[in-house]
Amino acid sequence: MPSIPSIDAIASSIPLPVAPPAPSPAGDGAFAQSITGAVDELRALQSTSNELAVAAVTGDLDDIHSAMIASSRASVTLELISAVRNKGVDAFNEIMRMQA
């Protein structure tokens, strides 16, 4: 009868999510730094996704799930950053209409 792997063995094989940047006190450029950090994280996620996709296509990847998860994470992060950018542009336009 095959043994069931321990939870530690399973947990160690699952890649941990990238931790969000530590919150900084509100001030000049805090929003810009947050957006810049998010874009940098997006680039890293897309790079990882591309590497895993190439490995999957060439047959060098044993676990296709990791490639699919990386692709999904990059896609969701891109959608989030786009939504935040769109809300920022909408807010800016609303402020500009108030001043007129």
Question: For residue range 20-41, what is the model confidence (pLDDT) as tens digits?
Answer: 556 555 567 888 898 899 999 9
63 occurs within a structural domain: yes
DSSP annotation of 88? H
25 occurs within a structural domain: no
10 occurs within a structural domain: no
Rg (CA), the chain: 20
Considering the entire predicted model, what is its pTM? 0.64
Rounded to whole angstroms, the Cα distance separating 37 from 64 reads: 28
21 occurs within a structural domain: no
Percent over 70 (pLDDT), the chain? 71
Could you report how far apart the first and last alpha carbons of the chain are, in Å?
77
- State mean pLDDT over 59-85: 91
Please name the amino acid found at residue 14: I
Asked if 77 contacts 42 with a C-beta cutoff of 8 angstroms, the reply is yes
Rounded to whole angstroms, the Cα distance separating 64 from 83 reads: 29
pLDDT beyond 60 at 16: no
| Domain count for the chain | 1
- CB count within 10 Å of CB 88 equals 12
58 occurs within a structural domain: yes
- State mean pLDDT over 59-87: 92
Domain carrying residue 59: 31-99
The pLDDT of residue 62: 87
Q: Which residue has the higher pLDDT, 1 or 64?
A: 64
The pLDDT of residue 54: 93
47 occurs within a structural domain: yes
The pLDDT of residue 63: 86
